[in-house]
Amino acid sequence: MKILVAVKRVIDYNVQIRVKEDGTGVVTDNVKMSTNPPDDNAIEEAVKIKEAGKATEVVAVTVGEEKAQETVRKALAVGADRGVHVKVDGILEPLAVSKILQKIVDKEKPDLVFMGKQAIDDDCNQTGQMLSALLNWPQATFASKIDVKDNKLEVTREIDEGLETIEINVPAIVTCDLRLNEPRYASLPNIMKAKKKPIEEIAASDLGVDVSPRLEQLKVEDPPKRKAGIKVANVAELVQKLKNEAKVI
Amino acid sequence: MAVLLIAEHNNKELRPFTLNAATAASQIDSDVHAVIIGQNSADAAKQLSELPVVKKVLSVEAAHYENFTAENFAPVIVKLAEKYSHIVSSANTFGKNLMPRIAAHLDTSQVSDIIKVISPDTFLRPIYAGNAFATIKSNDAKKCVTIRPTSFDPCESTGGSAAIEKVDASEEFSNTKFIKREEIKSDRPELGTARIVVSGGRGMQSGDNFKLITEIADKLGAAIGASRAAVDAGYISNDHQVGQTGKVVVPDLYIAVGISGAIQHLAGMKESKVIVAINKDGEAPIFSVADYGLEADLFEALPQFMEELNKLNTIQK
């Protein structure tokens, strides 16, 4: 079984986001960038499946500018075998990314495609589902547990009501929740070894995919600020304030 | 052209956020039709027909719709979409799972998780865990939109009498099989719609200690929330998680106990009307959004809180 894992480069989850003064977006210059956190879970799961002898190859793919390749390199350092970097400048909508990934799937012919359930920058939560629609493959979204059984996967999904378990036939798409596993850190020797692993570079324009934007971002602004509150001295004062001032209990 | 609302239900009754999504749909266009896909779901379809904002109900029933699998739902909606300008659903796990599959089939760029309808083609949505708001205009002929339920009031649920039209089922998608759903049953209000939420974080230190929260929640008629750290640590199940990758809540009162207030958690609760933070670390970021902050050891504060509540003559429910 061959697993393709899609990874995205995003502003690091610990960075305090600043909106650009001209309202065209958020500040990304000199800001720490990382792999989208649930994409790390996707890589980890693929590598674990390979280590368990149930997969033969893990290929990491990213779609993005020059520096997006760092996320593929990181995936190689934690156990992916090789990488694919689809180069494109600017921000693509999930629909365009899923069309590009479809082309990569056509070329690589993986049995499984893993990725994070949502990217923490645009919070769209679309790409996995869109790719699975384009391929007409089954989709297991928000996965917190994956059991590989021959040509099937049993996947536990986190849903609003609790947990759901489904069985999907491969080829299939799985989008990963943060609770799926604990991503490992890359060791220094593995980081060095990863530098020698191959990354194939493909220009998005060579894939024959229409990636033109359908959405216009008219403005990006700060959310309304909350007014600073007060500190209360003790529990009695807190309950009194909630009862008589805020009138919520 | 009219707007098509996708109803969320459990085959017996509508799930509450369908009413919020109906409100959002009606703000896009007053001509709202609603599709309900299920099995033996006639009662829920009738309920849907009674929403005054819904002008027509399309009901699709088949055995393979019983468990709401997106692979089965999407083709039905894609077929119906021809007659509609917009497809709308909630941005909860139901809509998040389903809508992109529809959008891709329609070759449409979806607009996710909107918090405001500015015009029929322009919407406001949070990005970066709510640390920025983006105004997005869709230039697609057909628009697929998911709405953040807590940003729209539920519509009236009675008084309407829309016609219910039967629609043919699509073929079953055979590569996905539903096995089971483990729903955590509780007599408490639903987290997403509760008036009061009491949440615990890593500071609770164990699942057992959550009973301090449970007691207070029961006294206040509140739902129980949790930070991701508490869920990851196994103190409480995933359906309680509030935050960027969990649920978004906007209660009248949110009490955060032993929660430091990472931006990912704030994303799920900072629109709450009144926020209380109880934390022994006076520098915890949660205090920056709290209306009332109490710097205290939660193991002392929570029993005292319960005592103080017991002294009150009346408690709003």
Fold of A2-223: Rossmann fold (3.40.50)
Residue A90's pLDDT is 87
Residue A79's pLDDT is 97
Q: Which of B166, B183, B209 is the last residue of a domain?
A: B166
Residues A135, B283: Cα–Cα separation, whole Å: 49
Domain ranges of chain A: 2-223
**Pair B142, B219 in one domain:** no
Residue B182's pLDDT is 92
- Within-domain flag for B15: yes
With a CB cutoff of 8 Å and minimum separation 6, the contacts of B7 are: B14, B18, B34, B35, B36, B44, B48
Q: Could you tell me the pLDDT band of residue A20, with boundaries at 50, 70 and 90? A: very high
- Within-domain flag for B204: yes
- Within-domain flag for B177: no
Residue A165's pLDDT is 98
Instruction: Identify the DSSP state of B207.
Output: S
**Pair B231, B273 in one domain:** yes
Residue to test with chain B: of A20, A129, A230, most B Cβ within 10 A? A129
With a CB cutoff of 8 Å and minimum separation 6, the contacts of A244 are: none
Residue B317 pLDDT > 90, yes or no? no
pTM above 0.90, yes or no: yes
Residue B314 pLDDT > 90, yes or no? no
Residue B187's pLDDT is 86
**Pair B84, B146 in one domain:** yes
Residues of chain B contacting residue A231, judged by C-beta atoms under 8 Å apart: 287, 292-295
- Within-domain flag for B172: no
Write out the H or E segment, with its range, that includes residue B114: strand B111-114
A209-245 pLDDT, tens digit each: 999 999 999 999 999 988 879 999 999 999 999 999 9
Nearest CA-CA distance, residue A177 and chain B, Å: 8
Give me the mean pLDDT over the B202-219 stretch. 97
Residues A128, B113: Cα–Cα separation, whole Å: 17
What CATH number does residue B127 fall under?
A: 3.40.50.620
- Within-domain flag for B178: no
Q: Do B133 and A222 touch (CB under 8 A)?
A: yes
What is the complex's ipTM, to 2 decimals? Answer: 0.95
Which tokens go with A153?
Answer: 């996967």
- Within-domain flag for B250: yes
A119-152 pLDDT, tens digit each: 999 999 999 999 999 999 999 999 999 999 989 9
CA angle B138, B140, B144 (to 5 degrees): 75
**Pair B34, B105 in one domain:** yes
Nearest CA-CA distance, residue A196 and chain B, Å: 34
Identify the bridge partners of residue B34 per DSSP, sorted by sequence position: B5, B57
- Within-domain flag for B316: no
Residues of chain A contacting residue B196, judged by C-beta atoms under 8 Å apart: 248-249
Residue A227's pLDDT is 81
What CATH number does residue B265 fall under?
A: 3.40.50.1220
Q: Could you tell me the pLDDT band of residue B313, with boundaries at 50, 70 and 90? A: confident
Chain B residue with Cα closest to A173: B176
Nearest CA-CA distance, residue B103 and chain A, Å: 7
Residue A29 pLDDT > 80, yes or no? yes
Judge contact between B261 and B227, C-beta under 8 A.
no
Q: Give the residue from B239, B317, B53 showing the smallest Cα distance to A162.
A: B239
Q: Which of B166, B188, B209 is the last residue of a domain?
A: B166
**Pair B128, B6 in one domain:** yes
Residue A115's pLDDT is 98
Residue A135's pLDDT is 98
**Pair B147, B55 in one domain:** yes
Residues B122, B27: Cα–Cα separation, whole Å: 12
**Pair B33, B91 in one domain:** yes
Residue B235 pLDDT > 80, yes or no? yes
Q: Do A178 and B264 touch (CB under 8 A)?
A: no
Q: Give the residue from B148, B139, B23 showing the smallest Cα distance to A123.
A: B148
Write down the mean pLDDT value for chain A. 96
Residues B145, B232: Cα–Cα separation, whole Å: 31
Neighbouring C-beta atoms of residue A218, cutoff 10 Å: 14
Residues of chain A contacting residue B239, judged by C-beta atoms under 8 Å apart: 158-162
Residue entry with tokens 């769209």: A124
Nearest CA-CA distance, residue A28 and chain B, Å: 12
Q: Could you tell me the pLDDT band of residue B183, with boundaries at 50, 70 and 90? A: confident
Of B102, B128, B292, the CB nearest to A17: B128
Q: Which of B148, B166, B184 is the last residue of a domain?
A: B166
Report the number of distinct structural domains present in chain B.
2
Residues of chain A contacting residue B123, judged by C-beta atoms under 8 Å apart: none
Percent of chain A past pLDDT 70, that is, above it, reads 100
Which tokens go with B250?
Answer: 């906007």
- Within-domain flag for B184: no
**Pair B151, B215 in one domain:** no
Chain A residue with Cα closest to B132: A222
Residue B184 pLDDT > 90, yes or no? no
Q: Do B96 and A159 touch (CB under 8 A)?
A: no
Percent of chain B past pLDDT 90, that is, above it, reads 95
Residue to test with chain A: of B175, B182, B195, B237, most A Cβ within 10 A? B175
Residues B87, B28: Cα–Cα separation, whole Å: 10
**Pair B283, B215 in one domain:** yes
Give me the mean pLDDT over the A149-173 stretch. 96
Give me the mean pLDDT over the B210-219 stretch. 96
Judge contact between B20 and B197, C-beta under 8 A.
no
**Pair B7, B151 in one domain:** yes
User: Residue B248: which domain range?
Assistant: 196-311
